[in-house]
Structure 1
Amino acid sequence: MGIISELPVDLVEKIAAGEVVERPASVVKELIENSIDAGASRIKIVIRGGGRGLISVEDDGCGMGRDDLAKCVLKHATSKIRSESDLWNLHTLGFRGEALAAIGAVSEMEIESRPASEALEGSRIILSFGAADGPHPAGCPSGTRVSVKKLFGNVPARMKFLKSDAVEFGHVHDSVVALALANPSVRFDLSCDGKERLCAHAADFADDDAMKSRIISLVGDSVSAGLKKIYEPAPEISVEGWVSENGRRGGKDIHIFLNGRPVRDRLLIHAVTSALGDGTLRDRYPAAILWMRIDPSKVDVNVHPTKREVRFANSGAVYEFLKSAMRKGLQSGFPTSAGSVRFPGVENAIMRFEERRECQPLRGFSNFASGEKRNLEHRDLFFTSQDLPRLRPIGQLGLSYILCEDENRSLVVIDQHAAHERLGFEALKNQRSRGGVAGQRLLIPERVELSPKELAHVMEHFGALSEAGFEIEHFGGNSVVVKSVPEMLAGISLAGFLSDLASDLEELGASSSADDAVNRILTRIACHSQIRSGDRLSDAEVAALVHDVVRERVTHCPHGRPALVKIDPQEIEKWFKRD
């Protein structure tokens, strides 16, 4: 008898649901996308208990009749595509026909809907962990309301990995903000546990003042200064939006919408940040809210059930177009280290995208002597703490690296930020082991505004923050007040620090210990307070840093990246054909 067998239907449904429904925010996203596809002009979202207690999404869209309501909860049932060719000409956010069936398989879900053409009554259907009851007649306004309770009630393993109510609501809030930015003509109302948390009034895309007001209300006041509009149209690819130089570190205020769909694509984000030249090396990031339109036949959104990942038929041309359009729009705006902004013609990028000229392959790096590529993968480039030699400083390279010579005449390259970050981290750990991290009380306590998700992560770790030298209190709303900071952080931007720290704390798993949280905080303190890439060092500072690196036997930063790399003299001699 064979060992392979078909899985039970209920288990298959739970597995499929896991691909679409990761947490309450996933449910909210899928339901809002359905509302937008239904032509809603107003969407109301109600959350209780972080989404565990209740998720309700109500819209004034086209609604569904009795027959459609019965079909909408079936797997792969949709009104949005009819054939394979439709996958390459998508004009809706949803198309897979999976969301409602997946949500209904792991919750108690009730859907009420009435088309505007039905004046008397609508219909209601209830799914209880996959079992359907209805549709039945029901009195309800035109449009659709979906209510979800007991999410993951039949999947306790998934429930175990959910975070606190505050953190889960933070994820919901982020999803609503992204979709509200993507659809300015739709009004969004979000409440949680009886309190209004977001109200975004509809705005006319052509009304610049209304659009700026909506963006600021959703993203925050920090982006209001210097908010500039960019616009670059073309038949098959275009971009329009608003940008500001006052974004948060890590590109957290970069929102890109591709054909109306929020996407988080590294290629596009890099194109946006690189428009600032090398400013991002000094922790400068823009805030950007960009609407891109691309011929649907040249982009694949059917990569993952969440539809956040995309593939482009010509990714290089898309990158070049967005970067060039950003630089063109900002040439009188953000300064770069090179002075005035230079950019290749947007027209060239459009021609590449529309395949009106051949794309020239990029020339690869080659060996100086023969042009043959060298494989350095297995070379002994990195040190361990046991074999770190004495080093003689030579100088600073590119305001980022320190060049040294060791006892064997090898060239040693030190990443000044990574090395100093490790030194700071070890110093903080030593302070903690001796009784506590040295703190400094602020003369005037500083109030810091955070996003709901960031606030939740910070509040969850108040104890660890106190152990790391902070004194922080909740100040109401989404803000905290900071009264004391570690001495090492004196003078840095607390808003940027806490925002980055919240992202670090989000990565901690449910099984993480209190020590894990404290070490993550100490790592972030060291990262923010130490020498940065781009800092010019005096000869004395270079010598002092090299001395400390050797004394403390530093080889890697706290994140695990190498802090030193060595190049043997034999390798250098080969470059000059002296071997």
Structure 2
Amino acid sequence: MASTIQALPTEVVYLITAGEVIDSLASVVRELVENSLDAGATRIVISLWPQQWRIRVADNGCGLSLEDLQKAATAHSTSKIHSSEDLWKIKSLGFRGEALHSLTTLADLEIFSRSTHSTEGWRVMYGNNGEVTQVDVAAIAPGTVVTVANLFANCPGRRQGLPPTAQQLKSVQGIIQQIALCHPHVTYQVWQNDREWFTIYPAPTVGKLIPQILTQVRQGDLEEINLPVPHPQSSTITNSSLKVVIGLPDRCHRHRPDWVKVAINGRIINSPELEQTILSAFHRTLPRDRYPVCFLHLLISPDQINWNRNPAKTEIYLHELTYWQEQITQAINQALRLSETNLKESVHTTRVSQLLKAAEEKGTYKFNSQKPDSQTQHYVTAVAQVSNTYIVAEHPGGMWLVEQHIAHERVLFEQLCDSWQLIPVEPPIILYQLSNNQVEQLQRIGLDIEPFGEQLWAIRKIPAMLQQREDCADAILELSRGGDLQTAQVAVACRSAIRNGTPMTLPEMQKLLDDWQRTRNPRTCPHGRPIYLSLEESALSRFFRRHWVIGKSHGI
């Protein structure tokens, strides 16, 4: 079999960003695991002996021929690029040709490998600068085993400058988890001092893998979508895709933005611009000082990426940045919406309605048996109102309790964001003893305010939603106390939304549910409170023990 590894031309070496690629245990693990993935491995075993500064990575990938093994640790040698043009068509995780060579200058390197096209394997030892010092025939299954020993033995200052062992191991765990998010179809088994430490099992999608990493998050807390994305220069080329997994904001969020993760073409990257795009898409869906769970994976044409920003390949230059930011915002908005496709699929039953009818006999529920217009298709159907506060809604997968005030608040808030309408008011609203800051605040959000006498101010233009409210003056006073325009919009929406304790007819409830379902962020109010409580049909079935088989004599 012909060799695929060759030394890079000098001009290509100069084009590649110079810098250290091996600076810790975690960086060794990252480089070796990425090589395993490039080799097509579906099972990777990482073994660590931190006190001995030894790491071993074994995989079931395609393996290397003897000819390739003899070149593998030569400086700037790689099978993944061959010319300067290839730097703009990179599809592999490794491509610089630096990792193995760097390891030979910092540690003892041994590689066992057998190509899938060969009947025999080889063991190769490397000396300083990547020179082969020993070659032996070895019995090995197809794949590769790389052992790095005595890491930084010739750089004692490097060892002393590294964090404590526990912190380094935490970094290794983080690296493996990041790689697993991008490549969920692979088994990752990690050993520490000859004992199994943790295993990440393969999953069909990253959304099904995340609960292995974030153990407090359940599968039902996540929404996952995968969208084709046109090339920015063409509306017809769709060789790109956008995978988004979000934690539903009414179910899970974080104290820190540590789970806003961005990956491009199989690698987690640091991208402040894209991370801020994600945070902005979740604005006014989470409680104050809380952050979303979001994993974003862009699979795009290599010509849109320049990897030569950082030798660790964790920072990139992304062409057409604004275009990709728009695509990300649209994808997250789609994942946050309620639709027939992301309601839990199940056979429609009338059991929930029967349950409500049974409860009605006690007289504590205002159950309305009136049916909606048969020509109107509703994902969620209003069936009752509880305590003049909660709307009982039925859908094919079970039932929801929707709090009417905050559902309406979400509807009004998004309407205000789309159209902040100020209208003249006559006679004007008169306010007394406003400070200069309060006057400036009202002017900042567009209200028409002017002096009306000593310590008196006349408001001649107000938000349209406040016009009919008896507490309009109190609402404007609240707006004067600070915050940006969106804060004012939240306050107006809250003031204007239907109050809890207000009776509603069935058509009014249905209209509110329909408007609410069409909002961009229907799961939480602008303050981050959950709007609905879901009672799935399967949960009701378990509660009422409908799986019990008691016997026909009991009428079941």
Shorter-chain TM-score: which interval?
0.5 to 0.7
Residues of 2 paired with 1:109 and 1:338: CA distance? 63
- Bigger shift: residues 239-248 or 276-285: 276-285
SS at match of 1:154: coil
Q: Deviations over 1:311-351 (max 9, x none)?
A: 11111111121122111221239x999825969xxxxxxxx
Q: How does 1:467-478 map to 2 (within 5 A)?
A: none
Residues of 2 paired with 1:338 and 1:129: CA distance? 66
Match of 1:8 in 2: none
SS at match of 1:110: strand
Q: CA deviation at 1:127?
A: 3.4
Residues of 2 paired with 1:23 and 1:285: CA distance? 30
Match of 2:58 in 1: 58
Match of 2:279 in 1: 273
Relative to structure 1, the CA distance from residue 145 to residue 342 in structure 2 (aligned partners, 3 Å threshold; closer, same or farther) is: farther
Match of 1:24 in 2: 25
Relative to structure 1, the CA distance from residue 212 to residue 286 in structure 2 (aligned partners, 3 Å threshold; closer, same or farther) is: same
- Bigger shift: residues 243-252 or 290-299: 243-252
SS at match of 1:286: coil
Q: CA deviation at 1:129?
A: 7.3
Residues of 2 paired with 1:320 and 1:398: CA distance? 27
Q: CA deviation at 1:123?
A: 3.3
Q: CA deviation at 1:192?
A: 1.4
TM-score by length of 1: 0.53
Q: How does 1:163-202 map to 2 (within 5 A)?
A: 163-202=163-202
SS at match of 1:146: strand
Residues of 1 paired with 2:81 and 2:35: CA distance? 14
1:339 partnered with 2:410:
yes
Relative to structure 1, the CA distance from residue 154 to residue 296 in structure 2 (aligned partners, 3 Å threshold; closer, same or farther) is: same
Residues of 2 paired with 1:45 and 1:239: CA distance? 30
Match of 1:398 in 2: 483
Relative to structure 1, the CA distance from residue 232 to residue 120 in structure 2 (aligned partners, 3 Å threshold; closer, same or farther) is: closer
Residues of 1 paired with 2:312 and 2:261: CA distance? 17
Q: Deviations over 1:386-434 (max 9, x none)?
A: xxxxxxxx9842199xxxxxxxxxxxxxxxxxxxxxxxxxxxxxxxxxx
Q: How does 1:349-428 map to 2 (within 5 A)?
A: 396-398=481-483
Q: Deviations over 1:445-483 (max 9, x none)?
A: xxxxxxxxxxxxxxxxxxxxxxxxxxxxxxxxxxxxxxx
Residues of 1 paired with 2:254 and 2:191: CA distance? 26
Residues of 1 paired with 2:115 and 2:139: CA distance? 12
> In the alignment, is the contact (CA less than 8 A) between 1:254 and 1:287 conserved in 2?
yes
Residues of 2 paired with 1:269 and 1:292: CA distance? 13
Match of 2:309 in 1: 303
Residues of 1 paired with 2:106 and 2:36: CA distance? 21
SS at match of 1:147: strand
> In the alignment, is the contact (CA less than 8 A) between 2:124 and 2:135 conserved in 1?
yes
Aligned partner (choices 217, 235, 258) of residue 222 of structure 1: 217
Relative to structure 1, the CA distance from residue 397 to residue 92 in structure 2 (aligned partners, 3 Å threshold; closer, same or farther) is: same
RMSD of equivalent CA atoms? 3.1
Residues of 1 paired with 2:324 and 2:259: CA distance? 21
SS at match of 1:19: coil
Match of 1:68 in 2: 68
Match of 1:240 in 2: 243
Residues of 2 paired with 1:265 and 1:127: CA distance? 38
Relative to structure 1, the CA distance from residue 233 to residue 337 in structure 2 (aligned partners, 3 Å threshold; closer, same or farther) is: farther
> In the alignment, is the contact (CA less than 8 A) between 2:224 and 2:245 conserved in 1?
yes
Match of 1:161 in 2: 161
Match of 1:145 in 2: 145
Match of 1:46 in 2: 47
Q: CA deviation at 1:224?
A: 4.2
Q: CA deviation at 1:166?
A: 1.1
Relative to structure 1, the CA distance from residue 41 to residue 158 in structure 2 (aligned partners, 3 Å threshold; closer, same or farther) is: same
Q: CA deviation at 1:297?
A: 0.6
Match of 2:297 in 1: 291
1:218 corresponds to which letter in structure 2? Answer: I
SS at match of 2:81: coil
1:329 partnered with 2:332:
no
Q: How does 1:115-154 map to 2 (within 5 A)?
A: 115-127=115-127, 132-154=132-154
Relative to structure 1, the CA distance from residue 329 to residue 213 in structure 2 (aligned partners, 3 Å threshold; closer, same or farther) is: closer
- Bigger shift: residues 155-164 or 116-125: 116-125
1:259 partnered with 2:265:
yes
> In the alignment, is the contact (CA less than 8 A) between 1:279 and 1:336 conserved in 2?
no
Q: Deviations over 1:498-517 (max 9, x none)?
A: xxxxxxxxxxxxxxxxxxxx
Match of 1:104 in 2: 104
Residues of 2 paired with 1:219 and 1:304: CA distance? 29
Q: CA deviation at 1:159?
A: 1.0
Q: CA deviation at 1:136?
A: 3.1
SS at match of 1:174: helix
SS at match of 2:295: strand
TM-score by length of 2: 0.55
How many residues are aligned here? 332
Residues of 1 paired with 2:55 and 2:156: CA distance? 18
Residues of 2 paired with 1:120 and 1:239: CA distance? 42
- Bigger shift: residues 177-186 or 231-240: 231-240
Residues of 2 paired with 1:94 and 1:43: CA distance? 16
SS at match of 1:282: coil
Looking at CA atoms only, which structure, 1 or 2, has the larger radius of gyration? 2
> In the alignment, is the contact (CA less than 8 A) between 1:107 and 1:129 conserved in 2?
no
Q: CA deviation at 1:130?
A: 5.4
Q: CA deviation at 1:279?
A: 4.9
Residues of 1 paired with 2:320 and 2:279: CA distance? 20
SS at match of 1:241: strand
SS at match of 2:78: coil
1:326 corresponds to which letter in structure 2? Answer: I
Relative to structure 1, the CA distance from residue 396 to residue 22 in structure 2 (aligned partners, 3 Å threshold; closer, same or farther) is: farther
Q: CA deviation at 1:280?
A: 6.2
Identical residues among aligned pairs (%) = 30
Residues of 1 paired with 2:221 and 2:31: CA distance? 34
1:397 corresponds to which letter in structure 2? Answer: G
Q: Deviations over 1:122-165 (max 9, x none)?
A: 23223357564133322322111111111111112211111121
Q: Deviations over 1:183-205 (max 9, x none)?
A: 01111101112332221222224
1:293 corresponds to which letter in structure 2? Answer: L
1:305 corresponds to which letter in structure 2? Answer: P
Residues of 1 paired with 2:71 and 2:409: CA distance? 59
Relative to structure 1, the CA distance from residue 115 to residue 261 in structure 2 (aligned partners, 3 Å threshold; closer, same or farther) is: same
Residues of 1 paired with 2:408 and 2:43: CA distance? 45
Q: CA deviation at 1:225?
A: 5.0
Residues of 1 paired with 2:226 and 2:211: CA distance? 19
SS at match of 1:172: helix
SS at match of 1:250: coil
Q: CA deviation at 1:92?
A: 0.5
Residues of 2 paired with 1:172 and 1:59: CA distance? 17
> In the alignment, is the contact (CA less than 8 A) between 2:63 and 2:144 conserved in 1?
yes
Residues of 2 paired with 1:80 and 1:165: CA distance? 34
